[in-house]
Structure 1
Amino acid sequence: MKIWLYNGCMKLLSKSGIGKAYEHQKSALEQKGIEYTSKFSRNFNIVQLNTIFPDSVLVALLAKLMRKRVIYYAHSTMEDFKNSFKGSNLLAGIFKKWIEFCYNLGDLIITPTEYSKQLLEEYAVSKKIIFLTNGIDLDFYQRDAESKATFREKYHFSKDDKIIISAGHYIERKGIEDFAELAARMPEYQFVWFGYTNLKLVPDKIRGIVETKLPNLHFPGYITSEELREAYSGSDLFLFLTHEETEGIVLLEALAMKIPLLIRDIPIYRNWLMDRKQVYKGTELAEFESLIHQIVQGQALSLAEEGYTVAKERSISNVGNVLLGIYIKLLHADNPGYEGMDNRIKPARIVRQ
C-alpha cells in the first residue's frame, strides 16, 4: 500500500490551516509506517488531496484513469468562505459549485468535524463523507517556563503584563473586529493577533483594524510554529472569536498547551467542547469582556486538564490509526468477502521525496 500525498500548490497554503493539516497527515503516516510519496509514482494505490486548485482536479482525474483510489480532504465549505476576502460573499455560490465538483471526484471525502460533515451532506456531493480530526502533535505543543520568558522578552512585555492572544488570517470571519473592540475596551491588557493576510485582499474595514494605533493591540504578522508555541507558553488567554470553522487547528494547539481558552459559542463546538468544562464560551462583547477579566485575574476555574483531554483524543497518533483503517477498507471496498483484513496487512516503509 502506497499513498500519494499530493502537495501541488501547497506552498501557497503553507501558512494556513490547510498547510498545517497536510503536515499533520505526513506525520500521521510516518508514525504508523505507512508508505507515502509526495511525488507522482505509477505504483501508488491512493492519492490524497487537500486543495481545490485546478491542479488537484487534474490529479484526481489522472488517478481515475489509472484506476486508483482518491481521497479528497474537505477543508473548505461555502460557509467558511463567506466573510473572508474581498468579494467572497458575492462569489460564495460559485465557490460552492466548484467545491461540490472537486469533492465529487473523490472515492471518499474526509472532513475534520461532524459539523462540517453535516454541512457537506446538504451539498450536491454524492460520495461517502466521513469526519476525522486534522489532529494535533502533542509532543511538539508543550508549555515551558523558558518559552514564556522568551516570548515576553521578544515582544517587550513584562512578567506582570496580562496577555491575550489569537491567531488567524486578517478576515472578518475569524472575529478580528471583536478582538480589536475588546482591546479598545480593556486597555489594561495586551492583545496580540498572530497571522497575516495581504491587506489588498481584505475589505477596507479589516485593513483599518490592522492599521489601528491602539497601544495595547498588536499585529506582529505570521510567525513559525515554534514561535507560536512560545506565544502560547507566554500568554494568559487564547481568545478564539471565529464565527465559522471546519475545525480550527489553532484551537487544538491551545488545548494541547493547556492555556485558558475562551471561544465564541458557535454550532461547530457545541457537541465536543462544553462551556465551563473544557473551555469558556461567550456570545457577545459584554460577556467576552467579563469572562476575559475573570480568567486572566484567576477568578475563573482552570479547565486546562479537561481541555487537554480533548486534545489527547485528537493526537496525530490516533489519526494515523484511523487513516490506516480507512486506507485498507477503501482498497478492499470492491471485495464483498473482505472481513477484518486490517490485522493481516502490515504498514510498509516510508518514501520521503
Structure 2
Amino acid sequence: MLDITMFSKADSIKGQGVGSAYLELINMLKNHFPNEFNVKINNYSKADISHYHTINPTYYLTTFQKKKRGVKVGYVHFLPDTLEGSINLYSPIQKYFDKYLLSFYKKMDEIVVVNPSFIPALIDAGCDENKITYIPNFVSRSLFYRKTSEDNLLFRKKLGIDNNKFIVFGVGQIQKRKGIDDFIKLAMDNPDIQFIWAGGFSFGKITDGYDEYKKIYDNPPKNLLFPGILDRSELVDYYNIADVFLLPSYNELFPMSILEAFNCGTAVMVRDLDLYKSVIDGYYIGCEDVLDMDREIKKLSSEPEEIDALSRLSKKASDYYSEDNVAGIWFDYYTSVYEKHKNNL
C-alpha cells in the first residue's frame, strides 16, 4: 500500500473548480483503491507520494524535506496567464506571485496538467518535459446526473420559471476572465430567454472589476438570475433545467463545469478556445464572440431537435470522461512515478 499525502486548501473557498477537482479525486481514490492507497490530508508524517494541489507557502517549505515527502507531485490548475482577469493585484506583488508560482512547480519531481495545451508553457518556464503528465478531470455520476422531467418541472416552479421558457445557464466566479460581461449582454439582448449564472466573488474585493459587477449582481435584468455560490449538490438541479450550458470564459484549463454539464446531458456552448480542442473537441458548440453566441442561442431556442443532438453528444463525452476510466489512469500514474523515483527517496 502506498502512503499518499494530499496537500491542499482547495476546498477552503467555495465556488472554485480547483476545489471540485480535488474533492472528486479524493473520493475516487478512497472508493476505488481503499487497499492500494492510504490517502492522508495535510499530514506532515513520512509519505511515499506528496501530491500538492495548492501552492500555499507552508506547503512550499515542506518540499525541502526530501526524505519525508517522497515523490513530490504538483497539480497544475493554473499558470500566471490564466489568472489575468481573475484578481487585481498591485503590479510588483503580481510579479512576485508569478515567480513564486513557477518556482513551486519547478520544485516538483513530477507535474500533472489537466490540459495538454499547457505543457509548452511549462516547458518555456523551465520545467522538464519528461516530468509532465496529462490526466483529465472527471466528475462523479453520483453527484451530477440526468434528472427526471418531473423533477425539472418542480424545480422550475420553485424558481418561478415558466415550463416553456428557454434557459441558458452559466457557472463560475463573477470576474472578467469568465466572460461575465458577455453573459450579461446576452441576457439584456434576449429578454424572452431566462439566463442564470451560479457563482459569486470568491476573491472578494480584489476580484477584477468587483465594483462594476457587484452593482449588476445586486440589480440584474429581470431575465437574469444570480443564485450566488451554490453547493455542488444544488448545482445539479440547475444543469438539468437548462437547455444550454454556456461558458463564455476567455481562459481555462479543463473546467469542471463542462464535465458537470456533460454528466447531466446538457447541451454545451463555449467560447471557441484552442485549448478545448485538446480535450473535448466534437462535443460542444464553439463561438467566436458574443455576436456568435447570440446567433447560436437564438437558433437553438427555436430548434429543439438541435438541443437533443447536443444532449446526445454530452452523454457521449460523459462516458469518455467517466470516473471509472480516469481512476485507472490515476492508479497507473501513482504506481509508476513511485517506481520511477523510489531508489532516490
Q: Which residue of 2 aligns with 1:51?
A: 54
Cα distance in 1 for residues equivalent to 2:101 and 2:321: 26
Structure 1 residue 239: deviation in Å? 0.8
1:132-211 paired onto structure 2 within 5 Å: 132-145=135-148, 146-197=150-201, 200-202=205-207, 203=209, 204-211=211-218
Cα distance in 1 for residues equivalent to 2:139 and 2:128: 30
- The aligned amino acid for 2:101 is I
1:30 and 2:30 equivalent?
Answer: yes
The C-alpha deviation readout for 1:139-179, integer Å capped at 9, x for no partner, is 33111124313431232112122111100001100010000
Cα distance in 2 for residues equivalent to 1:252 and 1:225: 13
Cα distance in 1 for residues equivalent to 2:226 and 2:13: 20
Runs of 4+ in 1 over 6 A off after TM superposition: none
Structure 1 residue 335: deviation in Å? 7.0
Structure 1 residue 125: deviation in Å? 2.3
Cα RMSD (Å): 2.2
Q: Which residue of 2 aligns with 1:330?
A: 337
Out of 143-152 and 228-237, give the one that drifted further: 143-152
Q: Is the 8 A contact 2:71 2:341 kept in 1?
A: no
Cα distance in 1 for residues equivalent to 2:249 and 2:260: 15
Cα distance in 2 for residues equivalent to 1:65 and 1:27: 27
- The aligned amino acid for 1:78 is P
Structure 1 residue 292: deviation in Å? 0.5
Cα distance in 1 for residues equivalent to 2:342 and 2:330: 19
Give 3-state SS (helix, strand or coil) of 1:272's partner: coil
Q: Which residue of 1 aligns with 2:110?
A: 108
Out of 67-76 and 308-317, give the one that drifted further: 308-317
Higher helix residue share: 2
TM-score using structure 2 length? 0.89
1:264 and 2:299 equivalent?
Answer: no
Out of 141-150 and 74-83, give the one that drifted further: 141-150
Q: Which residue of 2 aligns with 1:125?
A: 127
Give 3-state SS (helix, strand or coil) of 2:63's partner: helix
Q: Is the 8 A contact 1:32 1:321 kept in 2?
A: no
Cα distance in 2 for residues equivalent to 1:167 and 1:219: 10
Cα distance in 1 for residues equivalent to 2:310 and 2:196: 22
Give 3-state SS (helix, strand or coil) of 1:173's partner: helix
Structure 1 residue 230: deviation in Å? 0.5
Structure 1 residue 105: deviation in Å? 1.7
Alignment gaps of 5+ in structure 1:
337-353
Structure 1 residue 79: deviation in Å? 1.7
Aligned residues with identical type, % of pairs: 22
TM-score using structure 1 length? 0.87
Q: Is the 8 A contact 1:237 1:296 kept in 2?
A: no
Out of 324-333 and 106-115, give the one that drifted further: 324-333
Q: Is the 8 A contact 2:46 2:70 kept in 1?
A: no
The alignment covers a number of residue pairs equal to 332
Cα distance in 1 for residues equivalent to 2:300 and 2:93: 40
- The aligned amino acid for 2:158 is K
1:277-316 paired onto structure 2 within 5 Å: 277-298=282-303, 301=306, 302-316=309-323
Q: Which residue of 2 aligns with 1:239?
A: 246
Cα 1:224/1:335, change in 2 over 3 Å: closer
Q: Which residue of 1 aligns with 2:220?
A: 213
The C-alpha deviation readout for 1:33-67, integer Å capped at 9, x for no partner, is 132111426342111110011122123333x1426
- The aligned amino acid for 1:295 is L
- The aligned amino acid for 1:232 is Y
